């Protein structure tokens, strides 16, 4: 067989007989276009998920910041006792604009009504910030 090159019919890039399967060249532009579209869709889904997680973190940070602000204002109030973690207390404002914390709920004042305005029901949390109840 001298210098002739042996070719294996199954490795040819063109049909080698009348009964062979049709071999069409692939449109590489279409293949790349579909791949790029799929990649963009997948990365956009992932970006949307990250944006959602970031939004959750921002909301949590804002909530914590608000709790700190509320806690600072409560600690400026008159507190005639040592609050216990996990207990509910009541914030009032007197006519002279003095804020004070009480263990007595608005319903429990009864006839001993003094000139005060109920502001909020609050609970002392373990980190010594206050949770304001709706």
For residues 53 and 70, give the distance between their C-alpha atoms in angstroms, rounded to a whole number: 26
25 burial level (CB within 10 Å; 0-12, 13-18, 19+): exposed
Query: At residue 64, does pLDDT exceed 90?
Result: no
| Cβ atoms of 124 and 87 closer than 8 Å | yes
Range of the domain at 87: 21-132
CA-nearest of 127, 130, 134 to 89 is: 130
What is this structure's pTM? Answer: 0.56
Domain total in the chain? 1
Using one digit for the tens of pLDDT, what is the confidence trace for 15-41? 666 666 666 667 778 888 889 999 999
CA-CA distances (angstroms) from residue 76 to 70, 99, 115? 10, 8, 20
The chain-wide mean pLDDT, for the chain, equals 84
Residue 100: inside a domain, yes or no?
yes
């Amino acid at each position: 067989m001298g210098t002739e090159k042996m070719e294996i019919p199954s490795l040819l890039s063109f049909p080698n007989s009348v009964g062979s399967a049709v071999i069409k060249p692939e449109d590489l532009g279409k293949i790349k276009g579909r791949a790029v579209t799929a990649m963009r869709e997948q990365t956009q889904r992932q970006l949307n998920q990250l944006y959602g997680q970031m939004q959750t973190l921002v909301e949590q940070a804002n909530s914590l910041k608000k709790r700190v602000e509320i806690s600072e204002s409560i600690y400026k109030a008159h507190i005639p006792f040592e609050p216990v973690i996990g207990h509910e207390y009541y914030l009032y404002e007197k006519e002279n604009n003095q804020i004070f914390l009480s263990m007595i709920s608005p319903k429990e004042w009864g006839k001993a009504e003094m000139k005060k305005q109920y502001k909020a029901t609050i609970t002392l949390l373990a980190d010594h910030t206050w949770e304001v109840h709706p």
